[in-house]
Amino acid sequence: MNKLQHAVEEFIDDRALYQNVSKSYLVSKRAFDIAASLAGILVLSPFFLIIAAIIKLDSPGPVLFSQDRVGYKGKVFAMYKFRSMVSNAEQLFSEVEKKNQVSGFMFKVKDDPRVTRFGHFIRRTSIDELPQLFNVLKGEMSLVGPRPPLIREVNKYDNWHTLRMSVIPGITGLWQIRGRNKVGFEEMVRLDLKYIRERNFFYDLKIIFKTIPVLVGDSKAF
């Protein structure tokens, strides 16, 4: 266990409030995640091939982008996305870091020069997130939950911020349906903690249903 994971887990374990959910909910949530992610992968596989081909034609580099994220109780895992930026985007981060348009410990730039032509489309429609169905199938993520942060973000967290990692991270959550990039970091954390306190199976279904409009184009996404 690395130092980051140990620190996060130790703090979270002292806050039993955020773990007080029924076993039946956790079992049904995991069963739904497996069934839905597997069905999604099978149904969307022809679409994945089309997206992969367009990405290859649009710009040089791999189709998929893998990035280390911090998950449940501080455990680091590789999160998958369709590549929406130039292949050396990570190396160019220092050139755009000061242009951050989101408050707190997140980073978002509306007109990020690293984003490719096709990348703008798949980010706006959240198509770039679809490979995370494989993360869900592996148990590293859930369909619904707080978005997994970057290691450099977690290293700046106050203790209470780490409570958002007391559950398995998700592809979508309250942040996505309550304003996405228009919501600042502190408000995002409060939304995550609200979800963690109130979560149940039907709450998850409601969030998934409200996420669907994002797939046809979200003006707040960038």
- In percent, the amount of the chain with pLDDT more than 70 equals 80
CA angle (132, 138, 143) in 5-degree steps: 50
Considering only CA atoms, which of 4, 20, 31 is closest in space to residue 155? 4
- Whether 159 shows a pLDDT value over 70: the answer reads yes
Rounded Cα distance between 211 and 193, Å, is 19
The more confidently predicted of residues 136 and 188 is 136
pLDDT band at 13 (very low <50, low <70, confident <90, very high): low
**113 forms bridges with which residues in the sheet?**
none
pLDDT band at 212 (very low <50, low <70, confident <90, very high): confident
Output the pLDDT for position 76: 96
The more confidently predicted of residues 197 and 95 is 197
73: left (phi over 0), alpha (psi -120 to 50) or beta: left
Using the 8-state DSSP alphabet, how is residue 134 labeled? H
Q: Select, from the ranges 83-92, 141-150, 183-192, the one with the highest average predicted confidence (pLDDT).
A: 141-150
Which of 124-133, 135-144, 174-183, 206-215 has the least mean pLDDT? 174-183
Question: 41 vs 51, 75, 148, 211, 219, CA distance in Å?
Answer: 14, 25, 21, 18, 26
Question: 91 vs 72, 95, 112, 168, CA distance in Å?
Answer: 27, 9, 14, 29
**59 forms bridges with which residues in the sheet?**
none
Using the 8-state DSSP alphabet, how is residue 150 labeled? B
pLDDT band at 96 (very low <50, low <70, confident <90, very high): confident
Q: Say if CB 207 and CB 144 are below 8 A apart.
A: yes
What's the average model confidence in pLDDT over 12-39?
Answer: 82
Rounded Cα distance between 72 and 74, Å, is 5
What's the average model confidence in pLDDT over 51-67?
Answer: 94
Output the pLDDT for position 105: 65
Q: Which residue has the tokens 């292949």?
A: 87
- In percent, the amount of the chain with pLDDT more than 90 equals 54
Output the pLDDT for position 49: 97
